[in-house]
Structure 1
Amino acid sequence: MTLTNLITGFLGSGKTTSILHLLATKPANEKWAVLVNEFGEVGIDGALLADSGALLKEIPGGCMCCVNGLPMQVGLNTLLRQGKPDRLLIEPTGLGHPKQILDILTAPVYEPWIDLRATLCVLDPRQLLDEKIVSNDNFRDQLAAADVIVANKQDKATAESQQAFAQWWQTYGGERLRVEATQGNIDGGLLNLPRRNLAPLPESAAHAHGHPSNRGLAALSLPGHQRWRRSVNRGQGYVACGWIFDADTQFDTIGLLEWARLAPVSRVKGVMRIAEGLVRINRQGMDLHIETQNVAPPDSRIELINDGDTDWNMLQAALLKLRVS
């Protein structure tokens, strides 16, 4: 049987960073797999996890629980039967609802395959100060479904966010385990904890996502000799606009970072080719984290997410001007 954990968290909470840390500390004799789902279609998390040493399956462009859970079941079956991992980490989109996923994982058909352990919810406590986030059904249900709440980004915490989290915990903490983390640095031993939160979850509110290309389990790619392309996905009041560029396209480093810093959106995530190799960009609100590496990525991918439309054409024109080759 495969030890399995669901790792949830709203947009920008630090799920992927937490998973990268867990993968870096996994036992050397174990085979791990990740089933990752993104709201947008470009597949940024897949690119970030590509060199982690884990088996990887992506479900882009909406919730893995949509369409009666078929995309999730296809990806799950592929990993379990072909990969036969010792442990499986499932990362739903930050706009995903956990109930349908947990229902699938606990279905009788998966009993011989899956040993479901604790569900972790990664939380940036500052999100509790944002009324739009707090009123989001998925945000509330992700916390409600968790066995472990990871209060992440402690290095960014404020007195107000700490107080908001303390008040939330006093009201809703219950039997859950509470841990604090910085940059997703969490103890891998949390994954072995049993499920302790078995209370029934509410049904999710009706939600719809665009599935414009209906590619199933494949993230956006470039056909033929196309140099770049754009994809837009929307749902639940959020819009994701992403671009992918071929391996021969290189970007001006300083200009690219300024573009990412100043873009009038709430979320920026990307893996881009620059003269130095690659740069990983991760921005939530005004928090910008970058990391460079002296290797060339197979392509460049960047995605912006916002709670509503913005001038995507203006942002695209500025991004295209930053190409240096």
Structure 2
Amino acid sequence: MTHVNLITGFLGSGKTTALLHLLANKPPGENWAVLVNEFGEIGIDGALLADRGATLKEIPGGCMCCVNGLPLQVGLNMLLKQTKPDRLLIEPTGLGHPRQLLDMLRAAVYQPWLQVDATLTLLDPRHLADERIVQNENFRDQLSAADIVVATKSDRWHAEDRQRLTAWKQQNLGDRQWVEAALGQIDPALLRQQGLADRAVPQAQHHHPESRPQGLAALKLDGQARWRRALNDGQGYASCGWIFDADTVFDTLPALEWARLAPVDRVKGVLRTPDGLVTINRQGEDLFIETRPTTPPDSRIELIHHQPVDWNILQSGLLKIRLK
């Protein structure tokens, strides 16, 4: 029997950081797997979570919560058959609705194989100051689906953030468990708590463009191409991502400055530099970077914004900071 948890939350709530912490504190001897979905086509989280002690499968370029097609079910079935994990962590896109996904996991066909444990929804209280986010259907539905609400990035709160958080809890938390976390440090014991299958969660009518490609692996380069980009849009957001071949190396400091100054809501990337692997994770003005001595097989970076952006201008700046 595989135990399953959804780790959900809006864009920039800290899901990847939390997953990294959970994987680092995985009980010895347990076999874990991670199924991750991203709004963009490039597949950044797969690179960030690679080689962390768990089997990883990606479904980039859409919303795995829309189970009208086969990508999610195929990916899930492959993981269960090939790895037989003790625990499966599923990270839906920050622009996804969880209800359909939870219903599918609890369907009769999976009951002999899956035990759906607690759904953890991550909430950055600073989002409560942004009416555009608070009124977002995905944001509300993700919190409604939570068995446990995790208030993240507590090391960055101000007094007004805590005040808004207190008001939200009084109106919305109900009888659900509540925890606070800094730097993604979530207690792995939370995963073992029971999920509440009978919790009332809105059944969102969510549709994405039929032309949007979906797949079971992140975007790859074809032939002799040195780089390519991919675009996506939906749910009121737009994304642009780039992938570069293994011979492309970026100048470290200009790359970090490009990511810091890009006029977008969200920046995530894994880049080859003279210093090794550099990971970039930026939400608003929060910029987290990590340098590791290993080198990734390629470089990937993805931007997401709540309105159209002139991606060509940003692309021109990115291409200029490649080292020959």
**Shorter-chain TM-score range:** over 0.9
1:108-131 per-position Cα deviation (integer Å, ceiling 9, x unaligned): 000001011000001111011111
Alpha-carbon separation, structure 2, partners of 1:148 and 1:199 = 12
Superposition TM-score, scaled by structure 1 size: 0.97
Identity within the alignment, %: 65
- CA-CA distance at 1:198 after TM superposition: 2.5
Alpha-carbon separation, structure 2, partners of 1:215 and 1:6 = 20
Alignment correspondent of 1:112 = 112
Alignment correspondent of 1:180 = 180
TM-aligned CA distance change 1:43 to 1:3, over 3 Å: same
Alignment correspondent of 2:29 = 29
Alignment correspondent of 1:203 = 203
Alignment correspondent of 2:315 = 316
Paired positions, count: 324
Matches of residues 87-106 of structure 1 in structure 2 within 5 Å? 87-106=87-106
3-state DSSP of counterpart to 1:4: strand
Superposition TM-score, scaled by structure 2 size: 0.98
TM-aligned CA distance change 1:83 to 1:241, over 3 Å: same
Alpha-carbon separation, structure 1, partners of 2:85 and 2:211 = 29
Alpha-carbon separation, structure 2, partners of 1:22 and 1:314 = 38
Do 2:59 and 2:214's aligned partners in 1 also have CA atoms closer than 8 Å? Answer: no
Alpha-carbon separation, structure 2, partners of 1:219 and 1:308 = 24
TM-aligned CA distance change 1:243 to 1:142, over 3 Å: same
Task: Give structure 1 stretches of 5+ with no counterpart.
Answer: none
Alignment correspondent of 1:13 = 13
Alpha-carbon separation, structure 1, partners of 2:28 and 2:94 = 30
- CA-CA distance at 1:211 after TM superposition: 4.8
3-state DSSP of counterpart to 1:57: strand
1:264-300 per-position Cα deviation (integer Å, ceiling 9, x unaligned): 0000000001100011000000111111111111100
3-state DSSP of counterpart to 2:4: strand
Alpha-carbon separation, structure 2, partners of 1:292 and 1:306 = 25
Alpha-carbon separation, structure 1, partners of 2:133 and 2:210 = 21
3-state DSSP of counterpart to 2:250: coil
Alpha-carbon separation, structure 2, partners of 1:250 and 1:308 = 30
3-state DSSP of counterpart to 1:189: helix
Matches of residues 187-266 of structure 1 in structure 2 within 5 Å? 187-196=187-196, 198-209=198-209, 211-212=211-212, 214-266=213-265
Q: What letter matches 1:45 in structure 2?
A: D
Alignment correspondent of 1:82 = 82
3-state DSSP of counterpart to 2:80: helix
Alignment correspondent of 1:48 = 48
3-state DSSP of counterpart to 1:273: strand
Between stretches 193-202 and 283-292, larger displacement belongs to 193-202
Give the root-mean-square deviation of aligned CA atoms.
1.2
- CA-CA distance at 1:197 after TM superposition: 6.5
1:60-111 per-position Cα deviation (integer Å, ceiling 9, x unaligned): 1110122515211111111111110000000000000000000101100000
Alpha-carbon separation, structure 2, partners of 1:45 and 1:85 = 20
Moved segments of 4+, more than 3 Å: 209-212
TM-aligned CA distance change 1:20 to 1:209, over 3 Å: farther
Alpha-carbon separation, structure 2, partners of 1:180 and 1:210 = 39
